[in-house]
Structure 1
Amino acid sequence: MTCKTKIVATIGPASSDFATICDLIRAGVRVFRINCSHGSEAERIQLIQLSKQAAQSLDIPIAVMIDLQGPKIRVGELEKPSITLKRGQTIKITAQSVRGNEKYFSIELPELTKNVQVGNRILLDDGKIELKVIRKLMDFLEAEVINGGELLPRKGANFPDSELSLSGITEKDLNDLKLGLENSIDAVALSFVQSEKDILDLKQHIEQKISVCKKVPIIAKIERPQALEHLSKILEIADGVMVARGDLAIEISPACVPTAQKEIIQTANRMGKYVITATQMLESMIENAIPTRAEANDVANAVFDGSDAVMLSAETSIGKHPVLAVKTMVSIIAEAEKHLAQWSVWNGNIIPKSSDEDSFFVIQAARDLSKDRNVTAICVFTQSGRTAILLSKTRPHVPIFAYTPNADTYSQLSLYWGVHSILTSRANNLDEILAIIENTVSKTNHLKSGDQVVLICGYPVQKFRSANLVMLHTFP
């Protein structure tokens, strides 16, 4: 069963062998995520290579995305194994390297006293402990404990009310990025994005500091309130976004995540950009063989909201049932997609940028033609994949077959909603294009004699122009 909404699966200890990776692809995975927060460089290289080998073995295109760790802000070392913070007490916090206790402790944020203001909140250990800054001095902050608890060393710290001046890209990220590009990754996700500047910085590193011959889509993870404030500007620069609901829930509260999710997805779709919904989608399946009813609703609603892809994290990386989790997600998506006409929030009306206007009108014409009851597919001939990606955002009711002679484009198009990529030789004229379509798409059993397809390509064909031709072709 093939879904239009793509499934992203995180590979980890539970799914890192060749056989399981093949099983995940057969079950419906089309994007593999490599989480750079875990494992060694050698292990990450192996996972990338195994994913590509499995895809080649099965003759199914797969995209590999690395997820950069980003800056991790943590509590420093403590004098004891843990300390207890009680509601109402005051405590001092410094950026200096000290061994903490019940009176003071450190947080590894160099610009702590500059970035954090009186009244700002500090959340520790995934939000379990909440502090409020009541006084600022030169070298430390004084905070009141709002919600107390036991604090262990090296726990994470979040600053939902503060604009942090630290770079969104660490030396580790640059090393992981270089490693990924050298091993032909297809996309990169950037963590803890605050503004479009973080995306521009990453693009600069890719273009100037690292030798790379292909365009790699950048996915901005939206997990800070500042990213929500700058969402449109981030989307102007990034190729897509991820609704990273874990840290987002810590920063803005779980109650605000559903509306934030809808805002992110709607804005990305309107601007013609890619969007993944992630985090705890089938969390109970880490242990159990069936999901909760709430989880099934969550996946279906992400489809109805207009997600291009939905993501499994711990479910496939460390869970007991990685392949079953994918099969379960496929069944939920497939059922939801039967009812898109009735319940879908996204209607496919993107707002084109000026640079996309010519392609946009060609794509709109193709989508209108595809509504004819005799049309069973749209076939796109593309070098970069851009036309197929824009067409995907308009949500046609028929499959999109994207033909490309570019091996990188062939893999990257696995990211996008409703797109089936096909690696083909270059065509020099329309007759060759039609022959390629008849020799390939008909083998998928989607088409039969008398069926029609909508063809999109650049014309003259041999000039490799942007899409400017739409035509109907009837299968003999």
Structure 2
Amino acid sequence: MNAPRRTKIVCSIGPASQDVESLVALIEAGMNVARVNMSHGTYAEHTITIENVREAAKRTGQIIGILGDLCGPKLRITGLPARLHLVKPGDQFILSEGEPEEVPQKLTITSLGVLGEVAVGESIAFADGAVRGVIEGISDEGVSVLVTQGGSLAMRKGVNLPDSHLSIPAMTDKDFADASFLLEHAIDFLALSFVGGPQDLTLAREFIRSHATTQNTPRLVAKIERRDALGHIGDIIDVADAVMVARGDLGVEIPVEEVPIEQKRIIHMANARGKMVITATQMLESMISAPTPTRAEASDVANAILDGTDAIMLSAETAVGSYPVDAVGQMDRIARATEGIVSDQSLTLLTHPTRTIHSTADAIGSAAADLSRHLLLKVVIAVTESGHSARTISRYRPSVPILGATPDSFAARSLTLSYGVIPVVIPRSPSTEVMIQEAIENAIDLHLCVSGDLCALVAGIPFGVRGTTNLIKVQIVGEGFLSITDRYQDD
């Protein structure tokens, strides 16, 4: 049996993959988290998708997380005269917000009040940077744009103002409504688009806490896709539960040659702070229409893993592509091959950040990782109520798999983004020893260890109290939790 893959795979779900049979195939190919993109579709369609993901997870016996991705204040073309469908350098037109107007040279965009914050000389980009221009003038009629890079425009294509410092919040009225819908469906992760600073995350977290129907609230993912966010990246990572390097819009907001550098910087900072990080957009873009990726795409996926990402994401490849299952399979194989050399610094020339220890749980997580490198451990087993113990161990990147055993199904799904963690749900018991034995039996069933192997056990005593990770024990599989052995004592 193949060794467990440590890097997690996030798949965007859409028309090519939203039925139960397709979702089962994606899970069997390696999907860990299903992404529901609120930029497209209706609530009725999203409800069916969420129900289908849960049914597919049940059929396969796998724990699959669901990530709800909010639209954010995305600017889009809302009115496009026929003569502006194709523009060339030197063309001029007027840009305004609001309802489309029957004016041959006026293009309208989403009404978010942004045109009141732009200045002459600033740049503007359309359709993911395919068309670019510069702001020449501002009047009551609108903003005058001079095209500097020509191309095709179409309705609903995106608009970016990379030079402008916009004060718009990261959550619109639609986002608040969408977040309420997603909370009602108990999703596991909530992604916030176009985050500008930590205050956007604080607002979202307050909304989640006040509108959640249970104590289980989704983990908050900050999508990094605005130039402004890069200036506050440390504060954003501190407030978020996870970050996503959203290279699509980020690659329009900053020069494309800076994207790889920022990707490495964001991943490194997230690793240093012990936060989960997803690398996203165009990872296997050619597989929207081709059965195999380009060699450059394979290298891109591998390098994100070498950088230290927890998860890699597929977007259109699995949502609308012709080869969704093949795309996941290719990503799975690339990840497995890369993980085989991820610790070989003679090949990678990487120095991974040293994680700061702030708590007992951090110290135990670090110790578990150290034990995995100094003893012949087969697995680190974390028996955890909330998933916190397993997430903490993941931050320190042990050299063996981490089994995150919890009696809480929501806690198990919250571990589907954490590097190296295999989540399982075990029966609840008043006895910590019984629960540890259940976890060990699951590790055996998953072929992570056999009787006689050495493992490390991490737990909190008394069990059931969240945030009390305080125990680590080196254990021989097959022996009782409280048995005494000197087999591995120093001579």
Give the match's secondary structure for 2:403.
Answer: strand
Q: How far apart, CA to CA, are the structure 2 residues paired with 1:150 and 1:288? A: 24
Give the 5 Å matches for 1:144-183: 144-183=146-185
Change (3 A) 1:213 1:148: same
Shift of 1:82: 3.1
Give the match's secondary structure for 1:315.
Answer: helix
Deviating above 6 A after TM superposition, structure 1's stretches of 4 or more consecutive aligned residues are: none
Give the match's secondary structure for 1:74.
Answer: strand
Shift of 1:101: 5.0
Q: Does the 8 Å contact 1:131/1:143 carry over to 2?
A: yes
Change (3 A) 1:348 1:63: farther
- The answer as to 2:391 corresponding to 1:395 is no
Give the 5 Å matches for 1:170-319: 170-319=172-321
Change (3 A) 1:362 1:344: farther
Counterpart residue type for residue 190 of structure 1: L
Q: Does the 8 Å contact 1:83/1:102 carry over to 2?
A: no
Change (3 A) 1:169 1:335: same
Change (3 A) 1:17 1:209: closer
Q: Does the 8 Å contact 2:385/2:463 carry over to 1?
A: no
Counterpart residue type for residue 64 of structure 1: I
Counterpart residue type for residue 32 of structure 1: A
Q: How far apart, CA to CA, are the structure 2 residues paired with 1:378 and 1:130? A: 52
User: What's the CA shift string for 1:183-224, capped at 9, x where partnerless?
Assistant: 121101111111112111211221224534312101111111
Q: How far apart, CA to CA, are the structure 1 residues paired with 2:405 and 2:353? A: 22
Counterpart residue type for residue 356 of structure 2: I
- The answer as to 2:351 corresponding to 1:357 is no
Give the match's secondary structure for 1:392.
Answer: helix
Q: How far apart, CA to CA, are the structure 2 residues paired with 1:96 and 1:321? A: 38
TM-score, with length taken from structure 2: 0.91
Moved more, 64-73 or 425-434: 425-434
Shift of 1:289: 1.2
Partner of 2:385: 383
Q: Does the 8 Å contact 1:75/1:157 carry over to 2?
A: yes
Counterpart of 2:84 (choices 82, 85, 91) is 82
Change (3 A) 1:344 1:55: farther
Shift of 1:425: 2.4
Q: How far apart, CA to CA, are the structure 1 residues paired with 2:85 and 2:288? A: 31
Number of positions where the alignment pairs a residue of Structure 1 with one of Structure 2: 473
Change (3 A) 1:467 1:311: same
Moved more, 130-139 or 410-419: 130-139
Change (3 A) 1:82 1:312: same
Counterpart residue type for residue 470 of structure 2: N
Partner of 2:487: none
Shift of 1:457: 1.1
Change (3 A) 1:345 1:194: same
Change (3 A) 1:162 1:49: same
Q: Does the 8 Å contact 2:81/2:105 carry over to 1?
A: no
Q: How far apart, CA to CA, are the structure 2 residues paired with 1:95 and 1:424? A: 54
Partner of 1:5: 7
Q: Does the 8 Å contact 1:378/1:401 carry over to 2?
A: yes
Moved more, 245-254 or 81-90: 81-90
Counterpart residue type for residue 61 of structure 1: I
TM-score, with length taken from structure 1: 0.93
Counterpart residue type for residue 74 of structure 1: R
Q: How far apart, CA to CA, are the structure 2 residues paired with 1:196 and 1:462? A: 32
Counterpart of 2:322 (choices 304, 320, 323) is 320
- RMSD of aligned C-alpha atoms? 2.1
Counterpart of 1:107 (choices 102, 106, 109) is 109
Moved more, 13-22 or 200-209: 200-209
Structure 2 residue ranges without an equivalent (≥5):
479-491
Q: How far apart, CA to CA, are the structure 1 residues paired with 2:211 and 2:151? A: 44
Moved more, 15-24 or 339-348: 339-348
Partner of 1:21: 23
Q: How far apart, CA to CA, are the structure 1 residues paired with 2:38 and 2:445? A: 39
Q: How far apart, CA to CA, are the structure 2 residues paired with 1:459 and 1:319? A: 48
Partner of 2:417: 415
Q: Does the 8 Å contact 1:348/1:394 carry over to 2?
A: no
User: What's the CA shift string for 1:61-113, capped at 9, x where partnerless?
Assistant: 11011111112312342443635544345544333545265654333344334
Partner of 1:426: 428
Partner of 1:118: 120
Q: Does the 8 Å contact 2:10/2:313 carry over to 1?
A: yes
Give the match's secondary structure for 2:475.
Answer: strand
User: What's the CA shift string for 1:423-476, capped at 9, x where partnerless?
Assistant: 112344453244223422122222123211111111244656611111111123
- The answer as to 2:40 corresponding to 1:35 is no
Structure 1 residue ranges without an equivalent (≥5):
none
User: What's the CA shift string for 1:301-350, capped at 9, x where partnerless?
Assistant: 11101110101111111111111111111111110011011127463622
Give the match's secondary structure for 2:75.
Answer: coil
